[in-house]
Amino acid sequence: MNKHMGKKITVELGFEEACLIERALELYSRVGIFQFDNLTLCNSLQSKLWKDDISDKFRDRADDLKSVFNYNPPSHPSIFNTQDVQDDVRIACHMYQQFRHERYKDRIASGEQTERHHTVDEYPADICNIAGIKTPDCKINIENLNN
């Protein structure tokens, strides 16, 4: 029996901190499918690349790293590739989609966004469902504290 079964962790976050976790989940899931050029989602790397004007050099090195795993640019494994991609990457991507979906619903409910753009944000996360693996026990609730 797993020693962690039956435990639940509650974390309360401010909006900016939740967005940081969302970005970290996206970065983890993109690196997990060998999209190494997406390391630029990290602000520190991004500002250094722009400041030193080395983004093309970085992209070339990211492509070199991809070739170590026998993927040539622009290819990379699908999130559903069970040979090269582990379930934790799919779970991270699923949770990332959950964050995006909840922020989308909040924008619609608050009137911040009025039109629908038919993007992935409109639909509940389904990576784990499609992959046939356990859906993460992760719930996201955005509260408006100004009411």
Instruction: Delimit the domains of the chain by residue range.
Output: 13-32+79-147, 34-76
Residue 88 pLDDT greater than 60, yes or no: yes
Instruction: Look over the chain and give the mean of its residue pLDDT values, rounded to a whole number.
Output: 91
* Separation between Cα atoms, residue 57 and residue 73, nearest integer Å: 14
pLDDT, residue 50, reads: 86
Q: Kindly report which listed range (75-84, 97-106, 112-121, 133-142) carries the lowest average pLDDT score.
A: 112-121
Residue 146 pLDDT greater than 80, yes or no: no
Residue 96 pLDDT greater than 60, yes or no: yes
Give the chain's end-to-end CA distance (angstroms, integer): 44
pLDDT, residue 1, reads: 56
Characterize 75-102 residue by residue with b for buried, 16 or more Cβ atoms within 10 angstroms of its Cβ, and e for exposed.
ebbebeeeeebeeebbbbbbbbbbbbbb
Q: pLDDT tens for residues 35-54?
A: 999 998 888 988 988 888 89
pLDDT, residue 25, reads: 97
Q: Tokens 């962690």 belong to which residue?
A: 4
- pTM of the predicted structure, to 2 decimals: 0.88
Single-letter amino acid code for the residue at 62:
A
* Separation between Cα atoms, residue 67 and residue 23, nearest integer Å: 25
pLDDT, residue 7, reads: 84
Give percent of the chain above pLDDT 70: 97
